[in-house]
């Protein structure tokens, strides 16, 4: 019953920024700079490097994110696995130079539980479930 | 609140439990026997899954004679939806911070 073509839930945030890709790349990949805008971390721009992002716990969220570097293409693409409270997703940064700066695109996709990854033949994927969730909740008064 | 969310994530981390919950949400109230026939696992296994779902308040049970009937409580999913939409707000806020930082950085 596994459906590999089930749509993946993707969150996209994008913005044109008046800075060159090289500068934005530094902000995305140097640990002290990452801390200044994202969270405290032990990031290194090395594929396979495992790191942790930490912030203040919030209601319903521990504030701890376990990550692993997946893609490093300097000044262009950066991607890391992002796992928090048993839900796995992938965060990808895509930098595209423009006339006046850089188009910055962040995609967070593939929310799924840890158990899905190792549970081949599982009947219901987490994405599919999440996809149906909002419909269920919209139906509530 | 934290404890409720943790129970909720734990309950929904298992594919069989998600399947059972979806059946109940979609098809309405069912007995343990009915669910066992569909699930293709043993009745004790189904009962165990239902107990975890109940702990997370995702299902409610009702005894009638010798049968226990279970029904879905979709409202229990609200913290999960909050959590998903949390990320939308989260990243927009971080984009603003990133721009502030870029503005302060040297060339």
Q: Which phi and psi (to 5°) does residue A83 adopt?
A: -125, 125
Query: Over its length of 107 residues, how does chain B's per-residue pLDDT go in tens digits?
Result: 445 566 777 788 788 898 899 889 888 999 999 999 998 899 999 999 999 999 989 999 999 999 999 999 887 877 766 666 667 777 888 999 999 999 998 75
How many independent structural domains does chain B possess? 1
Strongest mean pLDDT among A75-79, A100-104, A121-125, B56-60: A75-79
**Partners of residue A111 in chain B, C-beta under 8 Å:** 84
Burial class (CB in 10 A: 0-12, 13-18, 19+), B63: exposed
CA separation for the pair B43, B45 (Å, rounded): 5
Range(s) of the domain holding residue B73:
2-104
B89 touches chain A (CB under 8 A): no
Confidence of residue A86 (pLDDT cuts 50, 70, 90): low
**Partners of residue A24 in chain B, C-beta under 8 Å:** 98, 102
In a domain, A112, yes or no: yes
In this structure, are residues B56 and B78 in contact, taking their beta carbons and an 8 Å threshold? no
The pLDDT assigned to B75 comes to 79
In a domain, A58, yes or no: yes
The pLDDT assigned to A1 comes to 36
How many independent structural domains does chain A possess? 1
The pLDDT assigned to A56 comes to 80
CATH number of the CATH domain containing A127: 3.30.530.20
- Residue of higher predicted confidence among B90 and A124: B90
The pLDDT assigned to B1 comes to 41
In a domain, A4, yes or no: no
User: How many pairs of residues across A and B have Cβ atoms under 8 Å apart?
Assistant: 103
Kindly indicate whether the ipTM for this predicted assembly is greater than 0.85, answering yes or no.
Answer: no
Q: Which of A54, A56, A34 is nearest to A44 (CA)?
A: A34
In a domain, A5, yes or no: no
B65 touches chain A (CB under 8 A): no
**Partners of residue A61 in chain B, C-beta under 8 Å:** 5, 83, 86
Range(s) of the domain holding residue A105:
10-138
In a domain, A83, yes or no: yes
In a domain, A68, yes or no: yes
CA distances, B1 to each of A138, B24, B57 (Å): 22, 25, 13
Out of A60-74, A127-141, B3-17, B39-53, least confident range? A127-141
Q: Which of A17, A93, A97 is nearest to B97 (CA)?
A: A17
The pLDDT assigned to B85 comes to 67
The pLDDT assigned to A120 comes to 33
Is A11–B91 a contact, with Cβ atoms under 8 angstroms apart? yes
Is A37–B94 a contact, with Cβ atoms under 8 angstroms apart? yes
In this structure, are residues A5 and A88 in contact, taking their beta carbons and an 8 Å threshold? no
Strand pairing of A87-98 and A101-113?
antiparallel
Q: Which of A108, A52, A116 is nearest to A79 (CA)?
A: A108
Name the closest residue on chain A to residue B26, using Cα atoms: A136
B38 touches chain A (CB under 8 A): no
CATH number of the CATH domain containing B75: 1.10.10.10
The pLDDT assigned to A3 comes to 37
Phi-psi label, residue A5: left if phi above 0, alpha if psi -120 to 50, beta otherwise? alpha
- State the smallest CA–CA distance between residue B101 and chain A in angstroms: 7
Q: What is the pLDDT of residues A2-52, one digit of tens each?
A: 333 333 456 788 889 999 999 999 999 999 999 999 999 999 999 999 999
Please enumerate residues of A whose Cβ is less than 8 A from a Cβ of B: 9, 11, 13, 15, 17, 19, 23-24, 26-27, 33, 36-38, 57-61, 85-87, 104, 106, 108, 111, 113-116, 119, 122-126, 129-130, 132-134, 136-137, 139-140
CA separation for the pair A128, A131 (Å, rounded): 5
């Amino acid at each position: 019953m596994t459906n590999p073509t089930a749509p993946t839930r993707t969150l996209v945030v994008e913005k044109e920024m008046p800075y060159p890709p090289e500068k934005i790349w530094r902000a995305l990949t140097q640990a002290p700079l990452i801390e200044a805008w994202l969270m405290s971390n032990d990031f290194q721009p090395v594929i396979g490097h495992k790191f942790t992002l930490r912030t203040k716990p919030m209601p319903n969220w521990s504030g701890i994110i376990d990550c692993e570097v997946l893609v490093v293409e300097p000044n262009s693409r950066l991607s890391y696995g992002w796992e928090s409270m048993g839900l796995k997703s992938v965060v990808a940064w895509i930098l595209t130079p423009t006339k006046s700066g850089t188009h910055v695109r962040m995609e967070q996709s593939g929310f799924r539980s840890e158990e899905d990854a190792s549970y081949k033949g599982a009947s219901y994927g987490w994405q599919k479930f999440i996809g149906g969730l909002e419909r269920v909740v919209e139906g509530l008064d | 609140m934290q404890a409720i969310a943790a129970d909720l994530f734990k309950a929904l981390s298992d594919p069989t439990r998600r399947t059972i919950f979806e059946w109940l949400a979609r098809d309405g109230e069912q007995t343990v026997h009915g669910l066992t026939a569909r699930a293709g696992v043993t009745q004790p296994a189904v009962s165990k899954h239902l107990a975890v779902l109940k702990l997370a308040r995702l299902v409610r049970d009702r005894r009638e004679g010798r049968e226990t009937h279970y029904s879905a409580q979709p409202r229990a999913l609200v913290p999960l939806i909050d959590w998903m939409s949390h990320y939308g707000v989260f990243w927009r806020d971080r984009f603003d911070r990133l721009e502030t930082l870029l503005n302060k950085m040297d060339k």
